[in-house]
């Protein structure tokens, strides 16, 4: 993920830092990346993502393991996290955060069964068709690809946290709205 922040975004962050200071809070921004370029590690990470995040039943994962030889695989998960950290009355800290994540992952497999047609159960074929950004069962074996984003909001008690960030720059705007609403300040209005 390339993080593109314009001067307007940076100005918003500076204003949020000033608002946070007024309330004895701090703003933190962090980024992270998980990248598995090697086939075995990437395949494992993709299958875990399918099961943990997308709800793929374990029997489908076992079916893929059994029936598909993975030729190529890559897994990339990047994120940016914006945090408002506040002190509580007892001196502890409480974190309120918005995390924007981007996932790019895929694998190209070769069927263990010749001909490939019908190697996976209809249930598994349907699940892959419904949940993947791109799925082609006849690409000399399956081609499975995910290209997705996700927004996770934690904390901000009493504030409407239903936001869906669609690019990293907008995460600044939505985080700003959450902080201002939570601290009962006027929202920062800018054209991004």
Show the low-confidence residues of the chain (pLDDT under 70).
1-2, 111-119, 137-141
Does some domain include residue 1? no
Does some domain include residue 187? no
Does some domain include residue 67? yes
- How big is the CA angle at 42 (ends 137 and 54), to the nearest 5 degrees? 65
Tell me if the pTM is above 0.85: no
Closest CA to 84 of 181, 160, 10, 166: 181
Does some domain include residue 114? yes
Does some domain include residue 16? yes
Which residue segment(s) compose the domain that 107 sits in? 7-182
Tokens of 55: 């709800």
Q: What is the pLDDT of residue 30?
A: 94
Count of the separate structural domains present in the chain: 1
Q: What is the pLDDT of residue 96?
A: 94
Residues in the chain: 192
Please state, in angstroms and rounded to a whole number, the distance separating the CA atoms of residues 146 and 117: 22
Does some domain include residue 192? no
Does some domain include residue 191? no
Please state, in angstroms and rounded to a whole number, the distance separating the CA atoms of residues 106 and 134: 9
């Amino acid at each position: 993920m390339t993080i593109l922040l314009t001067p307007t975004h940076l100005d918003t962050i500076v204003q949020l830092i000033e608002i946070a200071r007024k309330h004895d809070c701090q703003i933190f921004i962090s980024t992270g990346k998980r990248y598995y370029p090697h086939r075995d590690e990437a395949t494992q990470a993709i299958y875990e993502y399918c099961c943990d995040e997308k709800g793929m039943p374990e029997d489908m994962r076992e079916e893929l393991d059994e029936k598909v030889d993975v030729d190529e695989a890559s897994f990339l998960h990047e994120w940016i996290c914006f945090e408002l950290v506040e002190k509580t009355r007892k001196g502890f800290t409480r974190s309120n955060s918005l995390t924007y994540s981007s996932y790019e992952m895929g694998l190209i497999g070769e069927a263990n069964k010749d001909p490939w047609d019908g190697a996976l159960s209809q249930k598994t074929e349907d699940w892959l068709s419904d949940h993947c950004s791109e799925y082609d069962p006849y690409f000399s074996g399956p081609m499975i690809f995910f290209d997705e984003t996700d927004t996770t909001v934690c904390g901000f008690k009493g504030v409407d946290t239903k936001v869906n960030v669609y690019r990293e720059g907008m995460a600044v705007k939505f985080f700003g709205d959450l902080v201002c609403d939570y601290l009962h300040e006027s929202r920062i209005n800018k054209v991004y």
